[in-house]
Amino acid sequence: MNRKRWTALAIAAALFIISVLVNAVGILLSDKSETWSKNWLSLMEDSFSEEVIEDGDPLKKIVVLEVNGVIEDTGEAETFFSSSFYNHQAFLKMIKQVKEDDSVKAIVLRINSPGGGVVESAEVHNQLLKLKKETKKPIYVSMGAMAASGGYYIATAGDKLFASPETITGSIGVIMQSINYEGLAKKYGVELVTIKSGPYKDIMNPARKMTDAEQEILQRLINQSYEGFVDVIVEGRKLSEEAVRKLADGRIYNGRQAKALQLIDEFGYLDDTIAALKKEHRLSGAQVVKYVSDTPWSSLFGVISNNAKPETEASELIRLLSRPSSPRLMYLFSE
């Protein structure tokens, strides 16, 4: 067995052991000391300190909030194993921390994402709008290599959008996918037995072809989510609904095309975005920071995840274990 497989097995074993220990301690503490239990479990929660990107006045800060990877709430698995990928609950807590910190004067939303869940994208967008409304703190968006679909959805909360000429963005639309292995199952004599309470309970059953009625039900859901996507672009980018519908057919755009279509405002990288924010909002000399996790577990599992590169079997195992298995409505270009 090679080193990669040993690493994958070690991480899986660690996940199992920690799960057992947490459950066991939780049961014991719930009986003996509820207060002590809450204090112990609070160590598992995310807290954040600041890592300085550019020196400056600490009473006049710009915070860079990073969205890396698929915008998806996969529970606690990612909290344990990696701080480099997107963690939905942690990101929402970062937004809250920005809102409550009076020394933070502005935000740069750094996006490198193909999108993600409809619900999660809408939640992030909503919280960013609340942040702007309640604090009047400007949000500038810096797009990385990709800010597509749900990545673009959350970008529309920004006051000004920057991207490189080669950034992939757009992919405005909704998708829901499943696999149909009916033919394969018949070939090998496999039968999926389903007992259901209603005719549509097993909608998108991978062992049979979808009916016209089922497809119509799902198409209505997708259409409604699509309308929501169109609305946030109309409102965020100050474009007409007709113009948005013409460009929102699911295709991707590079930065040059996006600028011509008014989906972004300027060409620029992260440094350019920060410089523009300082100049246009009188933040010369501001300190630029980003949040890093203070959770005690993050260092331990960060070492594990850093040793297991994204291409390894270990990281793929973590990704598969943490992903929901049911088909979902997604603002997603690709994975």
Among the options 113, 142, 149, 305, which is catalytic? Answer: 149
Among the options 196, 201, 246, 309, which is catalytic? Answer: 201
Residue 254 CA to residue 265 CA, distance in Å, equals 13
Contact 168, 271 (CB under 8 A): no
In the structure encoding, which two tokens stand for residue 194, read together?
């389903």
Contact 281, 138 (CB under 8 A): yes
Contacts of 272 (CB under 8 A, 6+ apart): 142, 162, 266
SS3 per-residue string spanning the chain: CCHHHHHHHHHHHHHHHHHHHHHHHHHHHHHHCHHHHHHHHHCCCCCEEEEEEECCEEEEEEEEEEEECCECCCCCHHHHHCCCCCCHHHHHHHHHHHHHCCCEEEEEEEEEECEEEHHHHHHHHHHHHHHHHHHCCCEEEEEEEEEECHHHHHHCCCCEEEECCCCEEECCCCECCCCCCHHHHHHCCCCCCCCCCCCCCCCCCCCCCCCHHHHHHHHHHHHHHHHHHHHHHHHHHCCCHHHHHHHCCCCEEEHHHHHHCCCCCEECCHHHHHHHHHHHCCCCCEEEEEEEECCHHHHHHHHHHHHCCCCCHHHHHHHHHHCCCCCCCEEECCC
Contact 35, 250 (CB under 8 A): no
Examine the residue annotation and report whether 149 is marked as an active-site residue of this protein. yes
Specify which residues 109 forms β-bridges with.
Answer: 65, 141
Examine the residue annotation and report whether 60 is marked as an active-site residue of this protein. no
Annotated catalytic sites, by residue?
A: 149, 201
